[in-house]
Amino acid sequence: MSGMDALNDWVDDAAHLTKPDEIVWLSGSDDEYQRLIAGMLDRGEITRLNERAYPNSYLYRSSPSDVARTEGDTYICAPRKEDVGPTNHWMDPTVAKEKVRPLFDGVMRGRTMYVIPYLMGPVGSSLARVGLEVTDSPYVAASMFIMTRVGQPALDHLKTTDDGFYPGLHSIANLDPKNRYILHFPEENLVWSINSGYGGNALLGKKCLSLRLASWAGRREGWLAEHMLILGLEDPSGNVTYMTGAFPSACGKTNLAMLVSPLAEQGWRVWTIGDDIAWMRIGEDGRLWAVNPEAGFFGVAPGTNEGTNPNAMAALSRNSLFTNVALTPDGLPWWEDINPDQKTPPPGTLDWQGRPWTRGNGEKPNVAAHPNSRFTAPARQCPSISERWNDPQGVPISAFIFGGRRARMAPLVYQAFNWQHGVFVGASMASEQTAAAEGKVGKVRRDPMAMLPFCGYNMGDYWAHWLDMGKKLTNPPAVFHVNWFRKGADGKFLWPGFGQNVRVLMWMYDRIHGRGKAQETAIGYTPTEDALHLDGLDISAETLRELLRVDNADWAKECAEMEPFFAQFGDHLPAAIAEELAGLRERVGAGAPVA
């Protein structure tokens, strides 16, 4: 059976189950997108924004019970629980289908089923994969137009390769949170998602296909699917060095991907290839080559402004969808810190639920935009987008950057000793919680490679796959760890961050090209005090020493906190990771682990 025949049969089966009144196949044309928009406007499902300020842009308000990814409702449905591991929710595939199939039975009566063939990855790339989502949400369909390559590119790829396709069945149903399921069947490359319209749960090409299912496929086929940005650092001679970076939430990932360099006049610029996901294969030259599988940005709005990320502000200024932001009387989107000088929205603003915004009781105003409100914008509109962001070959990766938010533990930057140690650095990655909504402020949460919610299989096996990939690389990327968030005794950040982070990238560049100064510490190589490019930056020698300080006593305590996290993986923990932890214990003088 051809790929097209299999695709058509799958759609027929989905329609037989869900029983829509109408089936609409989407080809990816602009006219089609505008028809989706017009229909939602007519039904009052979206609001047109100020056309002069934000042309072809709209506001969507979701159900208050459906505003974020719901990890508790997200399952990997593999035959064996141990293949899924302790950090994922598991459900037996047969049980999962018996439980959730009745929820899909007739769920689209009175509705339209949108059939969305889409391509993840640049057209012509050997890593590109075809997805097929059927959904009864026109908002999801419109969002897929921005985030993926809808229509003909996918069908052409399906006709010319043997890759097959990744089917996804989605319905908003009645948005019942008690019957919300996001089910992944990795042995079938299949996703079922019901009772959520939120992007991470409903745009099935994003976290579901591009990370959870793709990570499983990557291990099977010998490549990596990672929750990583991809950037290019251009030097004064015009050469570009490409790096990827993995960061937990609230650690500046998107800002780094779209960094505006204050040293651009000196020839140091940053180019954006992707802000969220990287697919990487080993090239004939023994290097890792990466593509960004997405076509758009699905970014958090609060905190995004001209100071923190001017490139994102330019990207979202047209042809964009906004979700759960506030709306001013002038028809403008508004969120907290869109203008740092304007702490509250203008009078007459509607909050994210469409209610008149009020200051509330006490000193702290009620938020106008939901803390997880989003913008969905085409990547092509980003001023820093690289000319190679759609290159089917991808870009060669010279560095991995891992990072977290630590007030005192990690120095500003350090380099791993080698690939195996670098995998351990990524595996032991941790970040401190930043708000009550995420947990206790200051509590350390382990998030290996920023993949904790997204790795589709046992994370011990995932680290083993990383180690195996390293053995096949003749020219592996250097591995670094950064911490923009170290604080002094006064509780203030020691490093200015944002655009100034290019200076840390420049030290990485120096190390990659064999000329950066470094000193060996117990945790890796840190810059010497004269190695960073600090000209024009007002940082005292004392502050610099504190930024780069490695306290062995602190790291001995860190080892003790790592041990139970790694222990939960049992026999799936690679011996190399255990060896690296033992080596770190010895170097920091932690002594033998507690039995």
User: Which spans in 113-252 are helix H?
Assistant: 138-147, 152-160, 199-202, 214-221
Angle among Cα 76, 81, 87 to the nearest 5 degrees reads 65
Distances (CA, A) of 64 to 68, 146, 275, 337: 10, 24, 27, 22
| 153: nearest Cα among 123, 186, 114, 173 | 123
What would the two tokens of residue 534 be?
A: 């600090």
What crossing angle do the helices spanning 138-147 and 30-42 adopt, rounded to 10°? 150
286 vs 569: CA distance, rounded Å: 31
What is the chain's alpha carbon radius of gyration, rounded to the nearest angstrom?
Answer: 24
Contact predicate 131/118, CB 8 Å: yes
In Å, what is the CA distance from 427 to each residue of 12, 118, 211, 421, 575? Answer: 43, 32, 17, 10, 13
Q: What is the residue whose two structure tokens read 């009645």?
A: 174
Which residue in the block uniquely carries the two structure tokens 């923009």?
A: 484
For residues 214 and 456, give the distance between their C-alpha atoms in angstroms, rounded to a whole number: 8
φ/ψ bin of 481: left (φ > 0), alpha (ψ from -120 to 50), beta (otherwise): beta
Q: For the chain, what's the residue count?
A: 595
3-state secondary structure of 498: helix
* Three-state DSSP string of 314-332: HHCCCCCEEECCEECCCCC
| Rounded Cα distance, 253 and 277, in Å | 11
Q: Are strands 240-246 and 229-234 parallel, antiparallel or unpaired?
A: antiparallel
Single-letter residue type at 577: I
Identify whether the C-beta of residue 201 lies closer than 8 Å to the C-beta of residue 182: yes
For residue 134, what is the enclosing H or E element? strand 129-135
Which listed residue (251, 382, 455, 559) is catalytic?
A: 251
Q: Where are the beta strands (DSSP E) in 240-373?
A: 240-246, 269-274, 278-282, 288-291, 296-300, 321-323, 326-327, 333-334
Query: Beta strand 444-446 with 333-334: parallel, antiparallel or unpaired?
Result: unpaired
Among this protein's residues, is 382 annotated catalytic? no
Nearest to 382 by CA among 529, 496, 232: 232
The Cβ of residue 446 has, within 10 Å, a number of other Cβ atoms equal to 18
| Residues carrying an active site annotation | 251
